[in-house]
Amino acid sequence: MPSPTAKPNAKLKILDAALSVIRAKGYSATTVDELCATAGVTKGAFFHHFKSKDELGVAAAEHWSETTGAKFAAAPYHDHADPLDRLLAYVAFRKALLQGGVPEFTCLIGTLVQETYETVPTIREACDRSISGHAETLEADIEAAMRGRGLSSEWTAKSLALHIQAVLQGAFILAKAKGGAEIAADSIDHLTRYLEQLFRPAKS
Amino acid sequence: MPSPTAKPNAKLKILDAALSVIRAKGYSATTVDELCATAGVTKGAFFHHFKSKDELGVAAAEHWSETTGAKFAAAPYHDHADPLDRLLAYVAFRKALLQGGVPEFTCLIGTLVQETYETVPTIREACDRSISGHAETLEADIEAAMRGRGLSSEWTAKSLALHIQAVLQGAFILAKAKGGAEIAADSIDHLTRYLEQLFRPAKS
DNA sequence: TGCTGGATACCGACTGGTTGGTATGGTGTC
DNA sequence: GACACCATACCAACCAGTCGGTATCCAGCA
C-alpha cells in the first residue's frame, strides 16, 4: 500500500531467501543471520524492513501467497471448458509440480504453521489466510461441477477444496519422511481417483 | 537390552515430556532446559540418558511409535470380521481421536519430520520407520479387501495405506492452521467416502 | 556382618558460542 | 536537510553441551 516507488531490493531478497531457507530448515532453525547471508544483505537492512523475526514470518507467508497465487492464476489448467476438467487439471498440475529436490516443491505454509500454530498467532493466521484463500479459488469450479451433475451431497464445495489441500500437505510430509516425491505422486493419484468417482459415480 | 532392573524414571519422564512439548512448540523451538523443567529432572539427567538433543529426537520418535503402536493394537477396530469393515473402523477410530486441544491429537512424527528432514538424517529415518511401520499394519486388511472384491487395480495396498496416512497428516496441518479439529474431521469423512467408493463401486 | 570398589543414576554450576535485537552512523535522493 | 535505506559494532539473554561431584545399589570377599 505505501506506493512501490523505489526498488526495495533488500526486502524482496530477504523474502525470497526466507522462502527457500525456511522450507529447508524450518522456521525456528532459520536464523536471521543466515537469512541475511543468503539474501546478501546485512542485519541492519533486515531490521529496517521487519520489526522482528516473527513479523518476517508473517510477511513471508504473505509473499508466498502472492507469488504462488500468481503462478496458479497463470497456469494452463484454467483453459478447460468444463469445471470438473479444470479441477482435475488443477490436481494434475500440482502433481506435475513435484520436480527437483524436496525443499523445492514443498509448501512454505505447511512448514510454517506446524511450528508456530501455538506460539505465534499472527503467523498462524497468515497461514490460515493463505491456505483458505488458495482453496477458495477451487470452490467455484467444484460448485459448478456439483450443479452440472445434479449432486446434492453431504459434503460442501468448501470442505472438498480444503480436503484437496490436506492431501497435498500430507503428501509433502510423506515425501519429506521418505526423501522423495514418489509417494506424494501416488497420493495425488488417489486423490484424482476420488474426484473422478465423486463426480462420475456410476460405471456405465 | 541392558536389563530393566532399576526404574529409569528420569528417562521415561523426559521422553513423555518430549512428546507433549515438541508437539506444541516444534522440535527446534523446544529447548533442553524446558524439557527438563517439564519432566522435573535436571540437565545432568538429560545428558546422562541422551548424548545429544538430536539423539533424544530419535528416541522420542521411537517412543511415540511404541506408545501409539500399543494404543492402536489394543483398539476395538480389529474386532470386525470383514477386512474392509476393519479398515473403515480404523479411519473412524482416527476421527474419534480428534478430541481435546490441537497439540493433544496431532502427530509428533509429522511435526518432527517437517523440521528435520533435511538437517538431521537420523530423525528423518526414525520418522520414516514410524509412519511406514504404522501404515504396514493396514496393508493386510487392504489386500484382503481387494481380493475379497476381486479388485485388480492400478494402485497397491501399500500406496493406499500411505495415502491414508497422508490424509491424516494433512488434516492435522489444516487443524493447526484453523485452530480446531472440525476441518480435520471433514477431511477424514472425505477419506471414508473414497474408501467406500473404492471397495463398493456400483451403486445398486 | 561389615567392608570395599565399581557401575549406574542423577545433580547443578559453568562455558563458549549463538541468537534476536539495538544503537549509531553513513549515503543517496527528493 | 529530512527521510528512507542500509551498514557495522555491539549486547544481554539464551543455548546445547561439559564436568566434577554425590547417592545408591550390588558383587565379592573376609
In a domain, A186, yes or no: yes
In a domain, A17, yes or no: no
List pLDDT tens digits, range B142-190.
999 999 887 777 899 999 999 999 999 999 999 999 999 999 999 999 9
Provide, in whole angstroms, the distance separating residue A82's CA from nucleotide C22's C1': 57
Q: Which pLDDT band, with edges at 50, 70 and 90, does B4 fall under?
A: very low
Number of domains comprising chain A: 1
- Domain ranges, residue A154: 65-198
Place of cell 530393566: B4
Return positions of chain C under 7 A from a protein CB: 8-14, 18-25
Per CB-CB distance under 8 Å, the chain B contacts of A24 are: 118-119
pLDDT at res. B201? 72
Burial class (CB in 10 A: 0-12, 13-18, 19+), B15: buried
Higher pLDDT, B148 or A47: A47
Contact A173 B114 (CB under 8 A): yes
Does residue A149 belong to the interface with chain B, where contact is any CB pair within 8 Å?
no
CATH number for position B84: 1.10.357.10
Instruction: Over range B93-99, report the average pLDDT.
Output: 98
List pLDDT tens digits, range B27-45.
999 999 999 999 999 999 9
In a domain, A18, yes or no: no
**Which nucleotide lies nearest residue B56, CA to C1'?**
D16
In a domain, A84, yes or no: yes
Amino acid letter for position B190: H
Which is nearest to A197 in space by CA: B201, B145, B147?
B201
In a domain, B49, yes or no: no
Q: Which pLDDT band, with edges at 50, 70 and 90, does A204 fall under?
A: very low
Q: Report if pTM > 0.85.
A: yes
In a domain, A172, yes or no: yes
In a domain, A187, yes or no: yes
In a domain, A104, yes or no: yes
pLDDT at res. A8? 63
Does residue A159 belong to the interface with chain B, where contact is any CB pair within 8 Å?
yes
